[in-house]
Amino acid sequence: MNLFYDDQHQVFKLDTPHTSYLMALADGKWLGHVYYGPRLEGTDVAWALALGTRPFTPEVLPNEQASFFDCYPQEYPAANAGDFREACLGVRTEAGQRDCLPAYVGHAFLPGKPALEGLPATSGGPEDCNTLQITLEDCRTGVRAELCYTAFTHLDIIARSARVINAGSGPLWLDRALSACLSLPYEGQRLLTLQGSWAREGQMQLAEIGHGEQGVFSTRGISSHQAQPFLALTSPDVTQERGEVWGMHLVYSGSFLARVQRDQHDGLRAVIGIHPQDFCWRLEPGEAFQVPEAVLVHSGEGLGRMTRTLHDLYRGHLIREPYRQRPVLINNWEATYFDFDEARLLKIARQAAALGVELFVLDDGWFGERHTDSGSLGDWEVNRRKLPHGLDGLAEEIKALGMQFGLWMEPEMVSPDSELYRRHPDWAIQTASRLPLRCRDQYVLDLGRPEVEEYVWAQISNILHSADITYLKWDMNRPLTDLGSAALPPDRQGEVAHRYLLALYRLQRRLVETFPHLLLENCCSGGGRFDPGMLAYSPQIWASDDTDAVERLSIQEGTAMLYPLSCIGAHVSDCPNHLVGRNTPFDTRAAVAMAGTFGYELDVTRIPEEERRQIPGQIARYRAQHALLQRGDYYRLASARDGGLDAWMVAEKDGSRALVTLVRVLCRPNRRRRLVRLHGLDPAGCYEDVATGRRYGGDALMQIGLPVDLPEADFQARQVELRRVEVK
C-alpha cells in the first residue's frame, strides 16, 4: 500500500513513485495540508502545521478561534467559517444561511479507485493505485463530505474528488463544491495557464503571482476556448527539464474555476472545480452530490515531466482505446462548407480514395434545410435534394471506393427555425421572461430534461443505424446562456448547467457502449470543450477551427503540454488559409498535422497537382510513424514563441526510435546554424537519420544537439526519423 496513517502524529501520507502528499489533523479534527512535493520517507511532520500567527497585543487570547481558521491550510475549506480565502464548500441550510464547518470523523483505505457516479474520471485497479477516503462532517447541519484521494503507484498522480452528502433531516443547498484545494508557501512561484479564444485555443501564459487572486475560469457552460480547466504553479525558473511544477487539471467539461490566491502571510492556495457562479444544487436528506475529479501532478523535472506524466495517465487510465488505429480522414467542411451535393462529395471522395485516404467525413449541412449557419438543427432528416440516395446510399458509394464513411452532428442544439423548436419551444434552455440569446443562430437544448435527453438519443441512434457510419464528429457550437429550465422548480434553477453535463456524459457513454466500433471525435467550434471529461468518451477532439500551420504551432504546443498527440485533431487544409490568409508549404502543413490525428480538410480535386502528388507519400509517412506518435514520449524542444523555431520530438519509450519535427516560422538573414538538443534517447546508442544515413551518438544528440537544416525560406519544416542501429 502506498497510503499511510500515522496514528501517533495523526498524519496521512500518500506516496507515488517520486512524490508524497501529506495531511494532518489539528486538534484531532481539522484536516490540514502539510506538504506536496518530492517524496518523503517519514510521517512525523505535523509540527509543520503549527505555524499560527500572533494576532493580538498585548495578550494572547486563550479562546481565540478566528486567527486559526484565517491561516490554517485546510484541505477542504468551507465558506462563512472564519477562513476568508477561496472556499471549496458552500452550504446553505433551510434557514437560508451558509452554515457548515465540517470536521474529521473517520477515514478508510480502498484498493484501486472507485468510479465517480455520473461523471468521467480516471480509473485504476489495485495494481495501479489506492484510495484514501477521509470523511468530514458537520454534526449540526448534517453536511458530510467524503474526500477521495487516489495515489497512483507507477505515476506521480494524485486524483482528488469528493462526495457531499446530506446526512441531516432537512434539505440543503450546495452553492459551492470545488474539487481540490492545494496549499503551498509562496517561494516566487509562477502561475501557468492556457488561455485563448475561438481559433486561438491553448496559448501558454506564465505569470508572476501577486497578492490577491488570479487564474482562469469559464462561466460558459463549456470548458471553453478561453481557458483550459488547468493551472500549474511552477518554480520561477522553470524550463522543460528543470524546476518544480504542481499541476491541477479538472476532469469536467462545463463552467470551472482555477484560481490561485497569495494571501496576507504569503501562503498560496490554489483551487479548482465547478465555477460557483450559476451553481446551486438542492440536496434532500440522504442524497449525495458527486464533485468532479481534479488530477494533481507534481514534477521535480520541469514542465516536460509533468507533460509525460499526464500523457501516460490519460492514455493508461482515462481514454477509451487510446491506441486504436485512426484512419486518415478527409473532411469536407473547408472544402465545400454548405455548398455540396452527392455528386460533388463523390468527386472529392473518389480522388481522395485514389490517393490513399481512408475515411470520408461529411460535415455540417446534410440534413433538413441547412444551407447556411441558420436553421434545421434538431431536424436530423437527410436532405434528399442534396443527397438523393440518402446517407445510406452515399455511405455505400464511399465504401465501394474502399473508404469508411463518417458523419457530423450537433446533437445538443436546436435552431429557432426548425420543426423541433416549433414543436417544443420550451426545450431550449431559457429563463422565464425572455427568449434566449441567439448565438450562431441557435439555442441549446435543455438536456437535463429526461424527455429531451431521450429525444436526442433517438436522433443519434436512428442516424447511426440508418447507414454504415464508422466515425461521428459530435459538435457543439455555442456557449450556454440564459440558464433556466421550464422543467425545474425555482430552487433548482441553479442545477441546469450541471444537469446538462450529466446528461451529456450519459449520452456519450451510451453512444460508445451501443456502438463500440464507432470512432467518436468531439468538437466544440474547434477546441471549446477540449478537456479530460470529453476525452473519457472520445479518443480524439478537434483542437481548433484554425487550420493554418503557423497558428497551429502555439495551439498544439499548449494542447500537447497536457494531452497526448493521439487525441489532438489536426488536418492539412488549403491555402491561402481561410482564417488568416497565409500561404505555407504543403509539406509543412502535413508535418504540423502529424502532431495530431492526421487528416485532410480541403477539396482535393481543386488543389494544385504538385500538392496532390504529395498526399500518398504523406499518408505513408504518417502510417509509418502512427504507432510511435500514439505511444511514445513527447518532448517539447523549442517553441516558436521564443525565436521562430518550433521543435518537438516523440521517442519510443525504449529509446529504439524517435521522430523529430522542426518548423521554422520566419527566416532571418545572417543567422548561425542552430542545434536542438534531443531527449529520451539511449545515451549509449548509435542513431541513424533514416533519410540521410547520417549517424550520431545518442549522448551527442542529447548533449550537443541535432543540427537544424532547413531551407532558407519562411515556414519550412523537416521531420527527422532516427533509429537506433547496431554498430559492428
Q: 453-460 — which CB contacts under 8 Å span 24+ positions?
A: 453/503, 453/506, 453/507, 455/427, 456/411, 456/412, 456/507, 457/507, 457/510, 459/378, 459/380, 459/409, 459/411, 460/380, 460/409, 460/411, 460/507, 460/511
- Alpha-carbon distance of 186 to 270, in angstroms, equals 11
Among 380, 408, 563, 648, contact with ligand GLA (rule: CB under 6 A): 408
Q: Which of 83, 175, 379, 545 is catalytic?
A: 545
Which is nearer to ligand GLA, 101 or 445 (by Cβ)?
Answer: 445
Q: Is 600 in the site for ligand GLA (CB under 6 A)?
A: no
Which range, of 178-186, 462-470, 489-497, 523-531, touches ligand GLA by CB under 6 A? 523-531
Site string for ligand GLA, 288-327 (x = CB under 6 A): ----------------------------------------
- Exposure of 489 by Cβ count < 10 A (0-12 exposed, 13-18 middle, 19+ buried)? exposed
Cα gap 420→588, rounded to integer Å: 44
Name which position in 83, 342, 453, 475 contacts ligand GLA (CB under 6 A). Answer: 475
Q: 350 by DSSP, 3-state: which? A: helix
Residue 260 and residue 209 in contact, taking contact as beta carbons nearer than 8 Å: yes
Among positive and negative, which fits the CA dihedral 478, 482, 487, 489? positive
Q: How many residues bind ligand GLA (CB under 6 A)?
A: 11
Cell of 558: 499548449
222: Cβ–Cβ under 8 A, 6 or more apart, which residues?
253, 254, 255, 476, 479, 480, 524, 528, 529
The minimum distance between CB 123 and ligand GLA, in angstroms, equals: 29
Site for ligand GLA in 161-190 (CB under 6 A): none
Answer whether 626's CB lies under 8 Å from 325's CB.
yes
If binding is defined by CB under 6 A, does position 540 make contact with ligand GLA? no
364 interacts with ligand GLA by CB under 6 A = yes
According to the binding rule CB under 6 A, does residue 545 interact with ligand GLA? yes
Choose between 168 and 526: whose C-beta lies nearer to ligand GLA.
526
Cβ neighbours, 10 Å, residue 93: 18
Q: For residue 15, indicate whether it is catalytic.
A: no
Q: Which stretch binds ligand GLA (CB under 6 A): 318-326, 518-526, 588-596, 709-717?
A: 518-526
Q: Which of 192, 523, 565, 663 binds ligand GLA (CB under 6 A)?
A: 523
363 is a site residue for ligand GLA (CB under 6 A)? yes
DSSP E strand stretches across 300-378: 329-331, 359-362
Q: Which of 83, 475, 603, 633 is catalytic?
A: 475
Check residue 412 for interaction with ligand GLA (CB under 6 A).
no
597 binds ligand GLA (CB under 6 A): no
- How far apart are the C-alpha atoms of 22 and 36, rounded to whole Å? 6
Whether 205 contacts 192, CB under 8 Å: yes
Per-residue string for binding with ligand GLA, 421-460, x by CB under 6 A? ----------------------------------------
Cβ 525 to ligand GLA shortest distance, Å: 4
User: Does 622 engage in binding with ligand GLA (CB under 6 A)?
Assistant: no
Give whichever of 372 and 514 is closer to ligand GLA, judged by the CB atom.
372
Least gap, CB of 442 to ligand GLA (angstroms): 10
CB 378 within 8 A of CB 419: yes
Which of 376/719 has CB closer to ligand GLA?
Answer: 376
Q: For residue 59, give the amino acid letter.
A: E
- Concerning whether 545 is annotated as a catalytic residue, the answer is yes
Separation of alpha carbons 571 and 72, rounded Å: 50
Closest approach, Cβ 518 to ligand GLA, in A, equals 17
> At which residue does the C-alpha cell 465555477 appear?
275
- Report the interhelical angle of 390-400 vs 342-355 (nearest 10°): 20
Whether the CB-CB separation of 273 and 88 falls below 8 Å is answered with yes
Could you give the string, one character per residue 322-361, with x where binding to ligand GLA holds by CB under 6 A and - elsewhere? -----------x----------------------------
Smallest gap from residue 590 Cβ to ligand GLA (A): 19
Which span (146-154, 239-247, 522-530, 616-624) binds ligand GLA, by CB under 6 A? 522-530
For ligand GLA, the nearest residue by Cβ is 364
Q: Judged by CB under 6 A, does residue 526 bind ligand GLA?
A: yes
Phi then psi for 203, rounded to 5 degrees? -85, 125
* 476-495 positions binding ligand GLA, by CB under 6 A: 477
Whether 569 contacts 542, CB under 8 Å: yes
Rounded CA separation 396/400 (Å)? 6
542 binds ligand GLA (CB under 6 A): yes
The span of 95-103, 288-296, 317-325, 520-528 binding ligand GLA (CB under 6 A) equals: 520-528
CB 401 within 8 Å of CB 357: no
The residues carrying an active-site annotation are 475, 545
Which residue ranges make up the site for ligand GLA (CB under 6 A)? 333, 363-364, 408, 475, 477, 523, 525-526, 542, 545
